[in-house]
Amino acid sequence: MSFIFLSYSRQDSGRVRDLYDRLRSNGYQVWFDEENLLPGQIWEAEIKKAIRGAALVIVALSSRSVTRTGYAQKEIRTALDFMDQIPAGQPYLIPLKLDDCEVPDQLGHIHCGSLVDETDFQRLLKALDQYSSSAEDGTAPESALDAPLNYSKYVAEFKKHESLIIPGYGISPLTIGVDESAVRAAFGAPTRTSEYGGDGNEPAQRYLEYLTVGLDFRLVRGSVTTIFAYASGKDGHSAFTGSTPERISLHSRRQDVERVFGRPPKDGGNGVINYWVSYPSLGLAITYDTIDTTSLKAEIHHLSVTLPY
């Protein structure tokens, strides 16, 4: 699956640190502010992005935290708001009691787990394994288990969704087809620019690279034709923290992608360069961080959004 976001109150940081370590040791990618926030980042914006990009949000509750006001309460509201955009019945938010505390009313409609002893932790792992999209038999599905969402409602409110990836349309706040001035207005001056082609065999292409936000833009004849989003450290980029409405993000693995979108109609790499796949009718392409064409656990190197064809 994609990563798990840990929401908690500062009073419980020690217990949550232990949970973070144990989840990591069991193979899960976990977003924990003490580990993932970097100096200089706008922490509230980064937390909001992480909540929206997470596959699951675990909300740690205790008798010391449920009655206190603070940012942890805001994280819960943010997660609940985003939960409204997720298909009904799809797990997203897991309340987890660290002691014998009462569950806040706003979470009362969700079955609550606990983390008092080892049995509780094993039960949590069982739930995570069930929610995970790992393909235990080592084969990918012929088609998506759940059809990709109808993106029309997201397109209608595109600019309201921070760091939203919509295949075939854009990455908020920018859509395919905008000009360079719109890119610069949104992100400022690029880290670097480059130009290719224009020799008669292919049209001139201009690239704008924004390493600190994990995005690149390809322009042809003055308009953006492709937007690239990168995983952390790939080609010098910081991680892009957004996701598709189905919560496919740069933390996702190939098995997650194919559970949502099915097997790709086009792929390549031939074991020589990084394995890549394309979903032309969706306007989505993905390059994995491996030359292995068979591994379903391959991590994403970068993805790109373009017009469907």
Whose structure tokens read 């990009």? 53
pLDDT at 154: 78
CATH topology of domain 4-131: Rossmann fold (3.40.50)
Single-letter residue type at 93: L
Contacts of 46 (CB under 8 A, 6+ apart): 36, 37, 241
pLDDT at 138: 39
CATH topology of domain 152-306: protein yfey like fold (2.60.460)
Whose structure tokens read 């006001």? 69
Structure tokens at 176: 């395919």
**Distance of alpha carbon 148 from alpha carbon 298, whole angstroms:** 21
pLDDT at 285: 97
pLDDT at 102: 86
- The answer to whether the Cα torsion of 289, 261, 304, 128 is positive or negative is negative
**Two domains, one topology: 4-131 and 152-306:** no
Contact 231, 173 (CB under 8 A): no
- Tell me: the pLDDT tens digits for 266-304? 999 988 899 999 999 899 999 999 999 988 889 999 999
Burial class (CB in 10 A: 0-12, 13-18, 19+), 303: buried
Contact 303, 284 (CB under 8 A): yes
Q: For the chain, which residues score pLDDT lower than 70?
A: 1-2, 68-72, 82, 84-89, 132-150, 200
**Distance of alpha carbon 130 from alpha carbon 7, whole angstroms:** 21
What is this structure's pTM?
A: 0.60
Domain ranges (residues) in the chain: 4-131, 152-306
